[in-house]
Amino acid sequence: MSQIRDNKLLQKIAIVIKELREEKGVSQEDVYNDINIHVGRIETSKANLSVSSLSALCKYFKISLSDFHKRVEGL
């Protein structure tokens, strides 16, 4: 079974992840070292991230999943 890709949604998620990372003042490498997630692939919309990865990123950036979703929908 092939994966479903919503490129527009992935692009919006990429923007919000990058904004959150920059607001926190950390590099992509910092995120990887801290939680073992390659955000570079997410920020370029190349990764179809899992719900578990999204949850881990939200915890790392101290934002609820619902607030993250609101930011994505606001784009």
Distance CA 49, CA 41 (A): 9
Record the pTM: 0.92
pLDDT tens-digit profile, the chain (75 residues): 577 889 999 999 999 999 999 999 999 999 999 999 999 999 999 989 999 999 999 999 999 999 999 999 999
* CATH 3.40.50.720 for the 7-70 domain, yes or no: no
DSSP-assigned states of every residue in 15-66: HHHHHHHHHHT--HHHHHHHH---HHHHHTT-----HHHHHHHHHHTT--HH
* Terminal Cα-to-Cα distance of the chain (whole angstroms): 31
